[in-house]
Amino acid sequence: MLSEIDQIAVIVHDVDRAVRFYRDVLGLPFLFQVPQMAFFQCGGVRLMLGIPSEPEFDHVSSIIYYRVADIEAAHQTLLDRGVTFRSAPHVVHRAPDHELWMAFFYDSDRNTLALTCRKPPG
């Protein structure tokens, strides 16, 4: 069921400085920047650099986002397997051609992971 990584988040404390490093030093293809976040393409995986949104995320770690075709089914399957979710599936972004849904959960060490799913708008 979880076979493809969609996005990895790396916590940074200065987005502009991090953009210069990842873009100019590492040479990663820069996609775009919004307040407190910047995005790069790494082959089929998107890399997000961001200021921690909550204190629990302010540590050296990455969030692995797993793309699924049916987020509600994946959410229920993982719940049935005893996974603790931080949030139920919900829309995090609306674009003209799709909605981006996410559901955050914890691994056995309480590291945060996520499910992502792109759905038609509406």
pLDDT for 60: 64
> What amino acid occupies position 120?
P
Cα separation, 2 vs 20, whole angstroms: 32
The pLDDT tens digits of the residues spanning 54-105 come to 887 777 667 889 899 999 999 999 999 999 999 999 999 999 999 999 999 9
Whether residue 109 is predicted with pLDDT greater than 70 in this model: the reply is no
Name the residue among 55, 46, 58, 65 with its Cα closest to residue 12. Answer: 58
The reported pTM is 0.71
**Mean pLDDT of the 5-14 span:** 89
Report the Cα 120 to chain-centroid distance in Å. Answer: 19
Q: DSSP letters along 60-87, please?
A: S-EEEEEE-S-HHHHHHHHHHTTPPBSS
What's the CATH number for 1-60? 3.10.180.10
